[in-house]
A = this chain, B = another copy of it.
Amino acid sequence: MTRDAYVLGRGMIDFGERYEDSFDDLLEEAYLALLDDVNVGSDEIDAAWYGTLDVADEGMSGAAVAHATGLFETPITQVVNACATGSDAVRNAVLAVESGQVDCALVIGAEKMRDTAEGLISLAAEKRVWRGRGVTMPAFFGMRATRHMEEYGTTREQIAEVSVKNHRHGSMYPHAHYKFECSVDDVLSSTTISEPLNLYDCCPVTDGAAAVLIGTEDLAREHAPELVRVAGTGLSSDSFVRGNDASLTHFPATRDASSRAYEASGYGPEDVDVAEVHDCFSITELVTYEDLGFCEVGDGGRFVAEGRADLDGEVAVNPSGGLLAKGHPIGATGVAQVAEIYEQLIGQAGDVQVDGVEVGLQHNIGVGRNATGSVSCVNVLERV
């Protein structure tokens, strides 16, 4: 690495049902929230990376961002990488700042899921073979839950504890879609979606946008309240169709992406104080503890049930409420997670602030054509 990239500021908006707002409205609101947070003029933004999966309706080029924000005559790249779209947009902006070509990079992501989720999610599950046989997203992850219970003795109650924790956090996070607490009994008695997963094991369908500004150390010293460095990034790709060697109880892409991010950053899982991870379903977060190295393989159930992922636990996981409570507007999700880790590191996370945080991690997985976890992106941030 030739020079480092820092977070200069963030723009978060309320996630939820935003039927009354256009896609452009969401982009503009996140951009204005960012400019409200960090005193940078639009003429100081050298380039942008834009995450949205909704190419059909809103995307297809960076011009959507130029139109919504007024950033004409600006280099704007649209990144698409399934549910890791937002986090990979951050990674590409980081590479650009590290290259020396870009001093100040906007990263912005948005999705109007309420209007388009059926189409988007249907595309994510390959439509030609699998979906017709019932293998939708809840079915994919339901099989993972069943297998984890079989292999490691994980209990249904332990899996539910992920939802309980994240809804507790979400109830305190101002931008979360759902702000209610629930008990293990609530999760277990909610409607069955795909056995063993129930309604409260699944993230909602949510509209939203988010922005962060990535730039040089000089700009961070000028604009940010604390120096937050992107210490390491990792991206990886995988596929289930390659053979019989894949496991249903871990995500090789997460393991590879986090290894890359840990190695680049010089940190390991034991150094991470706070993490925003991909909990599209409760089981996903539980498996992710193991894949990121927060606990031993097979120990994810106990890890959450014993409170080790709580705000005052070994590593505070999803203080924002995660995808389960905050929502999962795909192109915005990873960008929002980076914004939230930044808020934690500068001590501005309000009611969900974790004490004494120095190192934070952000993580997504995404589906490929016919497999969960085909892609994963991990970014490690540190307060310098």
Residues of A in contact with B (beta carbons under 8 Å apart): 1-3, 47, 53, 55-56, 58-67, 70-82, 84, 88, 91-92, 95-96, 98-102, 123-124, 233-239, 241-242, 252-253, 256-257, 260, 264, 366-369, 371, 374-375
- Cross-chain contact B84 with A61 (CB below 8 angstroms): yes
User: What B residues does A124 contact at CB under 8 A?
Assistant: 60
A355 to B302, CA, bound (A): 70
Counting every copy of the chain, the complex holds: 2
- Cross-chain contact A374 with B61 (CB below 8 angstroms): yes
Having A62-B237, A95-B95, one finds 15 other A-B pairs with CB under 8 Å, namely: A2-B100, A53-B60, A55-B123, A58-B369, A60-B123, A60-B367, A61-B84, A61-B366, A65-B237, A66-B237, A66-B374, A72-B238, A78-B81, A79-B79, A80-B80
User: What B residues does A60 contact at CB under 8 A?
Assistant: 53, 80, 82, 123-124, 366-369
Q: Which of B63, B88, B253, B374 contacts A77 (CB 8 A)?
A: B88
Of residues A98, A238, A257, A375, which shows the largest number of chain B Cβ atoms within 10 Å of its Cβ? A375
- 18 pairs across A/B with beta carbons < 8 Å? A1-B101, A2-B3, A2-B100, A56-B123, A59-B80, A60-B124, A60-B366, A61-B367, A62-B81, A63-B239, A63-B371, A74-B236, A75-B260, A76-B235, A92-B96, A99-B100, A101-B233, A101-B264
User: What B residues does A82 contact at CB under 8 A?
Assistant: 60-61, 63
A253 to B71, CA, bound (A): 12
User: What B residues does A67 contact at CB under 8 A?
Assistant: 239, 241-242, 368-369
Known contacts: A63-B369, A98-B99. The answer to whether A72 contacts B239 by CB under 8 A is yes
Query: In whole Å, how far is A66's beta carbon from the nearest beta carbon of chain B?
Result: 4
A56 to B71, CA, bound (A): 28
User: What B residues does A88 contact at CB under 8 A?
Assistant: 77
Chain A to chain B: the 4 pairs with minimum beta-carbon distance, closest first: A63-B368, A75-B235, A63-B374, A61-B82
